[in-house]
Structure 1
Amino acid sequence: MEFNMEEDAYKFYNKYAFKMGFSVRKDYLNKDKDYLVYFMRLSLTNDIRSRSEVTDCSKLAEDGTPELGMEFNSEEDAYQFYNKYAFKMGFSVRKDYLNKDKDGVTTSRRYSCCKEGVKRKYEGDVMPKRTRAPTKTGCGAKMVIVLFRGTMKYRVHDIVLEHNHELHIVQCAHMMPSQRKVSEAQGFQAEISEDAGLSLKQSHELMGKEAGGMGNVGYTREDLKRYLRTRRERSLKYGEAGSMLNYFQEQTLENPSFFHAVQLDCEDQITNIFWADAGMLIDYKFFGDVVTFDTTYKTNKEYRPLGVFVGFNQHRQIVIFGAALMYDETIDSFKWVFGTFLEAMCGKRPSTILTDQDHAMAVALSVVMPKTFHGLCTFHIRRTFMKHLGNHYKENSDLPYMFGACMYEFEEVEQFNRVWEAMVKKHNLENNEWLSGLYRIRDKWARCMMKERWTAGMRSTQLSESLNAAIKNHLKLDHDLVQFFRHFNRVVDEKRYNELIAEYEMRQKLPMVGLRQTPMLVHASETYSPTVFVAFQNEYGESTAMVILRQ
C-alpha cells in the first residue's frame, strides 16, 4: 500500500485505529517516522490491556456479535467483549446479578442493557419538586455467562440481542455509562491539573484537546468530578484532623525544618493551627523586622479565619513568614498564635507589626510582644472612616481630605494638632467616640508620630490583603483542610518564583541612574536591588529641590 505523503498515511492508519478501538502515537525510529500501535488509556473502548492479554473472541464471531457457547477466560473478559459489542451497537451495559460458590468464585453472571426494567412509581405522600425523566423501557437484551467446571472458563449460556428502544449513534457512544471510565493515567493527570489550579471545566477541555476531541476522552465532566471527589474522600479516611496531621508528617519527612503546631481544647479537639516551612523561617531571618498580620480572609466551608504573617523582601515583594488557621478571633487564640509564631522563629520578635484595629489582637500583642511596636493599618482606618463618619459630610466636603492629610502628610506634630482641631471643630465632631478613640492612639497611625519607627515603608496590611486575593483565586469554600494546605503552598511557590524572576532581572539589566555623575547614586545602584534603588533615587531627587526657609 502506498501514500502520496506522510500525513495521508497517518490519517489512514488513525481512521483504522478509530474503527478498531486503539490510539496511534507518532514515534521516531532510525530517523524515519513509523507508526506504532499504542494502547493508550484515552482509547474509545477504554481497553487498557494489550491485545495479547485479551481473549481472542474473533475466532468465535468474526463480526463481534455474542453467540451461545462462546467461552472466556475470565468474567472481566466476558464483560469487555460484551461492552465492546454494545459500543458498536449503541447501548450501555449494566452488570446485573451474579452467583458465587462457597469459595467466592463467580459461577454465573448476567449482563443487561441499561434500559432493562421499568421505573418504580413514587409511593410517598408528597411529590418531589424535581423528577427525573424515565430511562428504562423494559428492554430484554442480555448476555448470561456460566462457569464451566470442566475447563474453568465462562461460557455464554443465554443471549438476547433484540432491543425495544432506539439505539445511540456512534458519535454519542462515548457518553454511554458503560463506555465511560477515568483510567489511572487520566486520573493522575486530572489530579495534577487540580493541584495546578485548573478548574474542572479547564481540565476536561485540556484532555479533550490532547485526545483529539471530547468524544475520545472516554468520560464526561461529571465522571471527572466524581473521581476527584472520591479521591478526596479517600485522602480523608482518617478524618479531616487525622489527614491534616498526616500531611504535616509528610512535610516534616520531606524537610525536617518544617514547623507546625496544633492547639487542642479540653475535649482534645483541634482549635488553632500554625505552620511555617523552611523557606518561611529563612525569609523571616532576613526580612522579619517589619511584619503585617491580617485575619480578614475566611478559608473553607467552616469559615475559619486565616491569619498570615507577611513582609517585604529586597525587591519589595510579598514574602510569607507563617500562617495560622484559627478557630475564633479571641484574645486567647491570638495569644497562642503570636506565641507559637515566636517559638517557630526561635524567639526573634519583629521590630514592628501592623494589624487592623481588632481589640483582641491588640491585647494579645501587648502580652506576647510587649517590646514590638504595634502600628495600625492605615488602609483599614480609611475603610472604617466612611462607616463612622460618612453622615457628617456632604458632597465636596473637605473632611476626608483633612483626615487623610493628618494621616499621611504632616511631618510636624504641631501642624497635625492644628489641622486636627480645625477639622473636629468645623464638622462638629467633638463628641464622636470613634474619632476621639482614634486620636488617643494617634501614635500608632499618624505619620508625624511614627517618624522614629522602622516600618520599611509599610503603613497598612494591604500586603496581607493582596495575598488574600491571590489565595482566593486558588481556593473554594468547599475545600477540605488538606486541599487548603496544598493550594496555599501553590500560592507560596508562586510568590517565590516571582522572587526568582526579580533576581534574574536584577542581574540581567543595569540600573537606570538619572544623575550619572553623582557618586552616591552610582554607589546606591551597585548596592540596592533595582526596586529599592528607584525609591532611593526618587527620594534623592526630591531632596535636591528643598529650599532653606530660615537659618
Structure 2
Amino acid sequence: MHMLSSQRNITDIQAHEIDLANDVGIMQKSTFNLMTRQAGGRDGIGYTILDAKNYLRSKRQTSMDQAMAKALNEVMPDTFHGLCTWHLMQNGIKHLGNLMKEGSCFVTDFKRCMYGFEDETQFEEAWGTLLSEFKLRDNTWLKHVYNVKEKWARCCMNNAFTLGMRSTQLSKSVNSSIKNCTKPNLNIEQIFKNFEQVVEEKRYNELQRDFEAPFDQTMFSADRTYFSGDASNADNRDRDY
C-alpha cells in the first residue's frame, strides 16, 4: 500500500528535514536512508526517494520563479508574471501521480479551479472541496501552488492583460520551428529561405484559424470562456508552471 501514489505524502515536518539536509549538502539518498531508519522501514516513511527528488525540484523551480518575478518587478514594474499552466499540470503529474491521469475527476476539478471561476469566493469553495474530496489538505505541493494562486487562477488574474495566453507553448512552438531552420550545416541563404517558409506557414495557420473561429464551438465552454493564445495548438489549451 505504501507504494501507491494515493498513499504517499511528504508531511510538513518531513519537508523541513529534507530542506535542512539539502542545505548542509547531505546527499538525497543518504537523507532518505536516514529518515527510513527513523520511520522503522520504507513502508513507514510515507513517500519514496523519487517523491523527495520531485519535492526539491519543485522548490528550486519555485525559487527560480520568485527570482524571475523579482527581476521583472524591478526592471519592468508594470509587467504581470504568470505561471505556465502546462508546466503546472506536468508538475502535478510528478507530485500527484495517478490522480493526474487524463480524464480523472481530480484533473477535471483542478482545471475548473484554474480556468472556471471569475469570482474568488467560488474558487475558494471549489479548492476547499477539491482538497477535502481527495484528502489532500496536507499535500505540500498543493500548498505551494495555492500560495501563488494569483499567478495561475483565473479569478486572481482578472486585471492581468494576457491575450488569453496561459502557457509558454506558443513561444516554444516558435522556438522549435526556428531551431529546425537554423541548423549549423546550412549557409546563410538557406537559413533565410527556411526562415521565410516558417513565417509563411505561421501566417497561413493564423489566417486559417481566424476563418474557422466563428464556426469552431470547441473553443468555448459553459464554465470556461477563455480563448487559447496558441491558435496553431488549440487542442493543447487545457494541458499545462
Name the TM-score, length of structure 2 as normaliser.
0.52
2:131 is equivalent to residue 424 of structure 1: yes
Superposition pairs of residues 151-190 of structure 1, within 5 angstroms: none
1:461 equivalent among 157, 168, 174: 168
Considering Cα pairs closer than 8 Å and 6+ residues apart, tell me whether 1 or 2 has the greater RCO: 2
Gaps of 5+ in 2: 1-60, 223-241
1:405 equivalent among 90, 112, 122: 112
Q: Is the 8 A contact 1:413 1:449 kept in 2?
A: yes
User: Secondary structure of the equivalent of 1:455?
Assistant: coil
Aligned-partner Cα distance in 2 for 1:395–1:493: 37
| CA 531–418 in structure 1, closer or farther in 2 if over 3 Å, else same | same
| CA 442–413 in structure 1, closer or farther in 2 if over 3 Å, else same | same
Pick the structure with more strand per residue: 1
| CA 534–400 in structure 1, closer or farther in 2 if over 3 Å, else same | closer
Larger radius of gyration: 1
2:89 equivalent among 354, 364, 382: 382
Letter in 2 for 1:497: E
Deviations 1:196-218 (A, max 9, x none): xxxxxxxxxxxxxxxxxxxxxxx
Q: How far did 1:382 drift?
A: 1.0
1:534 equivalent among 207, 210, 213: 213
Aligned-partner Cα distance in 2 for 1:397–1:431: 21
Aligned-partner Cα distance in 1 for 2:127–2:205: 42
Partner of 1:362: 69
Letter in 1 for 2:118: E
Q: How far did 1:501 drift?
A: 4.7
Q: How far did 1:400 drift?
A: 1.6
Partner of 1:435: 142
Letter in 2 for 1:496: V
Q: How far did 1:494 drift?
A: 2.8
Aligned-partner Cα distance in 2 for 1:413–1:443: 10
Superposition pairs of residues 495-506 of structure 1, within 5 angstroms: 495-498=198-201, 501=204
Superposition pairs of residues 43-122 of structure 1, within 5 angstroms: none
Partner of 2:55: none
Q: How far did 1:419 drift?
A: 1.2
Aligned-partner Cα distance in 1 for 2:152–2:145: 9
User: Secondary structure of the equivalent of 1:467?
Assistant: helix
| CA 486–435 in structure 1, closer or farther in 2 if over 3 Å, else same | farther
User: Secondary structure of the equivalent of 2:82?
Assistant: strand
1:415 equivalent among 117, 122, 130: 122
Gaps of 5+ in 1: 1-355, 507-529, 544-551
| CA 500–389 in structure 1, closer or farther in 2 if over 3 Å, else same | closer
Q: How far did 1:463 drift?
A: 0.3
Q: How far did 1:460 drift?
A: 0.9
Q: Is the 8 A contact 1:444 1:450 kept in 2?
A: yes
User: Secondary structure of the equivalent of 1:531?
Assistant: helix
Aligned-partner Cα distance in 1 for 2:99–2:85: 20
Superposition pairs of residues 98-497 of structure 1, within 5 angstroms: 358-359=64-65, 360-390=67-97, 397-474=104-181, 479=184, 492-497=195-200
Q: How far did 1:433 drift?
A: 2.4
Aligned-partner Cα distance in 1 for 2:100–2:166: 26
Q: How far did 1:486 drift?
A: 7.8
Pick the structure with more helix per residue: 2
Q: Is the 8 A contact 2:119 2:155 kept in 1?
A: yes
User: Secondary structure of the equivalent of 1:456?
Assistant: coil
User: Secondary structure of the equivalent of 1:375?
Assistant: coil
| CA 446–485 in structure 1, closer or farther in 2 if over 3 Å, else same | farther
Calculate the aligned-residue CA RMSD, in Å: 4.1
Letter in 2 for 1:449: C
Q: How far did 1:422 drift?
A: 1.2
Q: How far did 1:368 drift?
A: 1.4
Aligned-partner Cα distance in 2 for 1:486–1:384: 41
| CA 393–456 in structure 1, closer or farther in 2 if over 3 Å, else same | closer
Deviations 1:402-449 (A, max 9, x none): 111111222322221111111112223223222112111111111222
Letter in 2 for 1:372: T
Aligned-partner Cα distance in 2 for 1:452–1:396: 31
| CA 500–447 in structure 1, closer or farther in 2 if over 3 Å, else same | closer
Aligned-partner Cα distance in 2 for 1:369–1:534: 34
Identity over the aligned pairs, expressed in percent?
A: 38
Q: How far did 1:542 drift?
A: 8.5
Q: How far did 1:385 drift?
A: 1.0
Letter in 2 for 1:456: L
Letter in 1 for 2:97: G
Q: How far did 1:531 drift?
A: 1.0
Q: Is the 8 A contact 1:470 1:491 kept in 2?
A: no
Aligned-partner Cα distance in 2 for 1:496–1:474: 11
Aligned-partner Cα distance in 2 for 1:406–1:372: 24
Aligned-partner Cα distance in 2 for 1:395–1:537: 23
User: Secondary structure of the equivalent of 2:81?
Assistant: strand
